[in-house]
Amino acid sequence: MTIQPPLSEAVTRFKQAAEEILSTYEARKPQRSVQVTPAQIVDAIEQFLSITVRTDRMEGETGPLASDDVDQLADYGLSLLMDLSEWAKLLSCQNAYAELQKVSLAATDWIIRHQGQIRALEPVVNAFAEVANELREPGELERMAQFMGRVLTVTAGFIQQDMEKTNPGRPWRVLHLNRGIVATRSHNVTLMQQVFDDLVLAVPEDAPGFFREGMEQMEALNYPAEVREVMSRYYTAVTRPTMH
């Protein structure tokens, strides 16, 4: 399975998702007025995707986009995709929702390739969570964890500072924890150690709980011995009392 589809495929996936959402919305149109309709969001996303495709096609002729332009496009496109995803959930369009998450990952890959910064992290984290649940093969899980790592490196500095520590649902925290789960599921012990080191450094207050739950999963799901050893080592390191 492709973790993030190429843009040309993402455009096709988006059109299919948009058709399902729009037809369902027309059939169940709410009586109350809404500030922004799904059709308006669809039009805006189509413009965003058109820009990304055109940029890739013409980059050799016009040169790369300015970083500020990429950042603004990233905010714009990812936020719109999250807004339409909310409509998909509201209208119970499960297939459309799943397709929109793949489109979000294709857009995220475009942002990374164009050296942009991700300031709208929540839609990316939601997309990772949806797509990761479909993955079973170790190689797919490894690529997913590596993709998540690339996103961490291009996330805006103010998010990386992790100032909202009282909010357990903050995207920075969720992304690190989910990346840890994906790495564990891959059974790649080298990858696990890299990801766990990042997790302990970025969200140290969440590390004990993560590794405690990880140890419980080791038993429940009968993980291989080498995977258990890594999980046990990190669990011991973050939970043992320190001398004063």
Q: 148 and 93, same structural domain? A: no
Name every residue whose Cβ is closer than 8 Å to that of residue 132 and which is 6 or more positions away in sequence.
141, 144, 178, 181, 182
For residue 77, the tally of other CB atoms under 10 A from its CB is: 25
How many domains in the chain? 2
- CB 46 within 8 Å of CB 63: no
Q: 145 and 94, same structural domain? A: no
Look at the alpha carbons of 175, 137, 81, 156 in this order and tell me if their dihedral is positive or negative: positive
Could you give the CA distance from residue 138 to residue 95 in angstroms, rounded to a whole number? Answer: 25
Q: 233 and 119, same structural domain? A: no
Question: What confidence tier does 87 reach under pLDDT thresholds 50, 70, 90?
Answer: very high
Two tokens, residue 121: 């992290």
Q: 89 and 57, same structural domain? A: yes
Q: 177 and 85, same structural domain? A: no
User: What is the pLDDT, as a whole number, of residue 7?
Assistant: 87
Phi first, then psi: give them for residue 241, nearest 5 degrees. Answer: -65, 145
User: What is the pLDDT, as a whole number, of residue 244?
Assistant: 45
Q: 122 and 5, same structural domain? A: yes
- 90, 109, 134 — which closes off a domain? 134
Q: pTM of this prediction?
A: 0.92
User: What is the pLDDT, as a whole number, of residue 240?
Assistant: 82
- 84, 110, 134 — which closes off a domain? 134
The pLDDT tens digits of the residues spanning 202-232 come to 999 999 999 999 999 998 998 999 999 999 9
Give how far Cα 77 sits from Cα of 11, 104, 105, 118, 170, Å: 13, 8, 11, 11, 20
Question: What confidence tier does 77 reach under pLDDT thresholds 50, 70, 90?
Answer: very high
For residue 25, the tally of other CB atoms under 10 A from its CB is: 20
Two tokens, residue 57: 């096609």
User: What is the pLDDT, as a whole number, of residue 65?
Assistant: 78
* Exposure class string for 120-142: b at 16+ Cβ within 10 A, else e: bbbbbbbbbebbbeebeeeebbb
User: What is the pLDDT, as a whole number, of residue 4?
Assistant: 80
For residue 86, pLDDT over 90 is answered with yes
Q: Say what angle helices 225-239 and 207-220 make with each other, to 10 degrees.
A: 150
Two tokens, residue 221: 């799901």
- CB 41 within 8 Å of CB 87: yes
H or E element, residue 38: helix 38-62
Q: 162 and 150, same structural domain? A: yes
- 134, 156, 190 — which closes off a domain? 134
Choice between 57 and 150, residue whose per-residue pLDDT is larger: 150
Could you give the CA distance from residue 216 to residue 13 in angstroms, rounded to a whole number? Answer: 38
Domain span at 36: 1-134
Q: Strand, coil or helix: what is 244?
A: coil
User: What is the pLDDT, as a whole number, of residue 169?
Assistant: 95
User: What is the pLDDT, as a whole number, of residue 29?
Assistant: 79
| Average pLDDT value for residue range 198-203 | 98
Q: 121 and 19, same structural domain? A: yes
Q: 120 and 225, same structural domain? A: no
The pLDDT tens digits of the residues spanning 8-22 come to 899 999 999 999 999
| Average pLDDT value for residue range 67-82 | 94
The pLDDT tens digits of the residues spanning 9-67 come to 999 999 999 999 999 999 987 767 788 999 999 999 999 999 999 998 886 555 577 88
